[in-house]
Amino acid sequence: MNTPHVERMIVEARELAVRSYALTTFLEGQVFSTLEPTDQQLLRAQYASMGAYLTILNLRIARAGAI
């Protein structure tokens, strides 16, 4: 059985994966291309950061033996 903090990481990773997928969909959509270049760049940076954070969460979950 996982400890409460590991369970929170698992939930957070799942939620982050959903949000990351939603952002991917937005980045590939028509509205994204209408944004100012600075906003596009910031959203791409946000997506990259979300991916890095998700990777770290998954590594921590794996180290806890939950995967």
Q: What residues contact 23, with CB distance under 8 A and at least 6 apart?
A: 43, 46, 47, 50
Q: Which amino acid is at 58?
A: N
Entry pTM: 0.89
Q: Which long-range contacts (CB under 8 A, 24 or more apart) does 22-26 make?
A: 23/47, 23/50
Q: What is the pLDDT of residue 67?
A: 66
Integer Cα distance of 56 and 30 in angstroms = 31
Please list the pLDDT of the chain residue by residue as tens digits (67 residues).
889 999 999 999 999 999 999 999 999 999 999 999 999 999 999 999 999 999 999 999 999 998 6
Q: What is the structure's pLDDT at 66?
A: 85
Domain ranges of the chain: 4-63
